[in-house]
Structure 1
Amino acid sequence: MLELTWPWFLLLLPIPLIRFFAPKAKPKGNGIWWMNTDELVHHQDTKLASNRFQLEPLCLTVAWILLVLAMTKPVWLGEPTKVVPSGRDLLIALDLSGSMQVSDMTLNNQSANRLEAAKSVLSDFIEARRGDRIGIIVFGSKAYLQAPLSFDTTTINQLVQEAQIGFAGEQTAIGDAIGLSIKRLEDKPSDKKVLILMTDGANTAGRVQPEQAAEFAASQNVRIHTIGIGADSMLVQSFFGSKVVNPSSDLDETLLKNIAAQTGGEYFRAKSTEDLRAIYQTLDELEPTPAEDIWQRPLTSLFHWLGLGAIAFLSLALLSNREIVWHKRSHS
């Protein structure tokens, strides 16, 4: 369906008609002019050229009509289509410190390190969040933005899979990760700012203390869900034989619980890959994507086509006028 944004410009269409209704100038005196034979031939040639190039006023008229139509800013409305509604701005802060290489998880019935398990579960979670803007922050000794907020979940997933242990350093800067997240979520609606922080350790680096960062996050209405990842027990081989150790002895659960509580989020403990999957399913319920159907009609602007048409006909009129001038000069 065609729709004119500024239809009042159509009032300009009759302007070229003024030349036809305007009073023509009358000669002031009477005179008789007799032409000789050469002038008669020249007059006939000029008349033929004039008839040949009467296309000029027609081109000018068409150019004017197209120009006025372009000024009305016409758009073509397509058929209504359903689109995925926009949900939340959701950042995921992923720990890439050296301890994430501990292989105390399982993936497809095989031993896997913590980062491999996290990537696998995150991949399914991100794909299920279509309609949200997802962003990825990675942190170790420092915090970096791996992927800005985007609806492109496919690209976000690819960037998550490309993250490797040690990219951001060997230590853990939890406070810096929260601080960077707050910066990336500023100027967003308060009910849509969410951070999921996943780590397996304690804050051992960074310029910002996690408690201070959490306090500032709460003041900015950023809700933080924290996940502590790592098994409680693990069988390791030593010189004296095998023994059971706690690979998560460095995990600061108290800190993660306080961060979540202070910002209105939840703390989760992931001791296995299955726990991690269950946690992200719970997060899907805690942070739902709006399910209301949204319909939109695609708009196709016709302005540039009409503008180009007006320029084309104006150029043709100018060329016609130039030919007339050249024809006259060739007989002079």
Structure 2
Amino acid sequence: MDWYRDLGITEIIFIALFAILYALYLVRVIRIGKSLNTPYSTVFIKLILRTLYFALFLVALLGPSFGGSKKEVKSVGKDIMICIDLSKSMDAFDVQPTRLEKIKFEMKRLVNAFNSDRIGIIIFSSEAFMQCPLTYDQNALNLFIETMNSSLVPSSGTDFGPPLRMALKKLEDENGPPTQSKSKIIILISDGEDFGEETEDVTREIENKGIKLFTLGVGTDAGGNIYAGRGLKTDRNGKPVLTKLNSRSLKDLASKTDGQYFEINETKNDVSRLINTIGKIEGELRDKRFMDVTANKYFYFLAAAAILLVIDIMLNIPTLRI
């Protein structure tokens, strides 16, 4: 027999109180019986009855489990690669406090929402770098997200090709046994300013592999300036750089892979909708096993104790006979 909880301080205190108080009661009854020269043995009938249902209440509190059975436990999940643009345009503040800081906050929501799935992070601008491989470790993911900034990657523009190709390769490397296929998803987060030339080719590969690509655009159509030190980032003519959200390229990428486009701007935040959409995708079976399980049968002992309590209340046994 297994127990839901061990005998602890609380139970020991209950037992001690019951024993002490009932001992004092017995001493008092016996003393009175002797002084009156009258039988007092019937008091022990109640003692046995009350001790019995007190013990049953205590056993019910500890949660006895027995009657073992086999239960099949299945492990089902998805693999999600998040590609995050860290080019200088992500430091624009048309989305408060900045595009990047807003995305870091929303990425933590994504990690929390898919805590039973494996998540990996790729950072990119004109080049792509693996920030965190596929993992279940939420603490590690949140740590990597917190340390992200635009100085981690070269600042020579944005190219969607390298991060998408890296994400595709990493997802393919995680195939495992032939019988263990997985639901694979790529999330591309950017302001949409793509200056690469291989994006269309890698998008076609993603489509052929049947992997869904979801894109999340961050920024506004009006655009925003970028902080650079104590002032604003300027172009060669000394004018403040204005970077705008290019949603068209992100929408095209999503539509070509049977994915969807989502957006964060000054008035709209589609991250909850993104989470719901990915959540509806059925994960693939990774593992299954049979485990020995037992059921908590406290209610049997609780019912028996309750019956004895009712009997105690209804049974009228004179403690002393005069």
TM-score by length of 1: 0.54
Counterpart-to-counterpart distance in 1, 2:102 and 2:69: 44
Aligned residues: 207
Give the equivalent residue in structure 2 for 1:47.
none
Aligned to 1:185: 171
* Partner residue of 2:103 out of 101, 104, 118: 118
1:270 equivalenced with 2:268 (yes/no):
no
Whole-Å separation in 2 of the counterparts to 1:203 and 1:96: 13
TM-fit CA distance, 1:130: 1.5
Instruction: Describe the shift of the 1:248–1:80 C-alpha distance in structure 2 as closer, same or farther (beyond 3 A).
Output: farther
The residue type paired with residue 162 of structure 1 is T
Q: Cα distance, 1:158 vs. partner?
A: 1.1
Alignment partner, residue 88 of structure 1: 78
> Any idea what the Cα deviations from partners look like across 1:30-54, whole Å, max 9, x if unmatched?
xxxxxxxxxxxxxxxxxxxxxxxxx
> Contact 1:105–1:273 (CA<8 Å) still a contact in 2?
no
- Other structure's SS at 2:75 match: coil
> Which residue in the other structure is 1:201 paired with?
192
Of the three residues 258, 277, 287, the one matched with 2:281 is 287
Structure 1 gaps of 5+ residues are 1-77, 107-111, 239-244, 299-332
Contiguous gaps of at least 5 residues in structure 2: 1-67, 226-230, 233-239, 293-322
- State the secondary structure of the residue aligned to 1:117: helix
- Structure 1 residues 83 and 151 mapped into 2: Cα distance closer, same or farther (>3 Å)? farther
- Which string of whole-angstrom CA distances, capped at 9 and with x for unpartnered residues, describes residues 256-291 of structure 1? 222111111111222148514334333344436689
> Which residue does 2:208 correspond to in 1?
219
Tell me if 1:169 matches 2:154: yes
The one-letter amino acid paired with 1:223 is K
Equivalence map 1:228-239=2 (5 Å)? 228-233=217-222
Residue 136 of structure 1 corresponds to 121
1:226-272 superposed Cα distances (whole Å, 9 cap, x missing partner):
1111023368799xxxxxx99553x4333222211111111122214
In the other structure, the counterpart of 1:32 is none
Tell me what 2:255 maps to.
Answer: 261
Counterpart residue type for residue 91 of structure 1: M
Q: Distance in 2 between matches of 1:145 and 1:273?
A: 32
Cα pair 1:190 1:222 within 8 Å, conserved: no
Q: Which moved more, 1:175-184 or 1:185-194?
A: 185-194
Shift in CA distance, 273/296, structure 1 to aligned 2, threshold 3 Å = farther
How far 1:223 sits from its partner (Å)?
Answer: 1.1
Q: Which has the higher contact order (CA 8 A, sep 6+)?
A: 2
Looking at structure 1, the residues matched to 107 and 249 of structure 2 have their Cα atoms a distance apart, in angstroms, of 23
Aligned letter for 2:216? I
Partners of 1:91 and 1:196 within 8 A in 2: yes
Higher radius of gyration, 1 or 2: 1
| Counterpart contact for 1:117–1:273, Cα < 8 Å | no
SS in 1 for 2:76: coil
AA in 2 matched with 1:127: N
Farther-moved stretch of structure 1 (276-285 vs 209-218): 276-285
1:149 aligns with 2:138: no
Q: What is the deviation of 1:82? A: 9.4
Q: Which residue of 2 aligns with 1:17?
A: none
Task: Give 1:97's aligned residue.
Answer: 87
The answer (yes or no) to whether the contact 1:140–1:172 under 8 Å persists in 2 is yes
Separation in 2, partners of 1:289, 1:274: 29
Match of 2:9 in 1: none
Q: d(CA) in 2 for partners of 1:184 and 1:235?
A: 34
Residue pair 2:214, 2:254 contacting (<8 A) in 1 also: yes
SS in 1 for 2:81: strand
> TM-score, length-normalised on structure 2?
0.56
Deviation at 1:164, TM superposition (A): 1.0
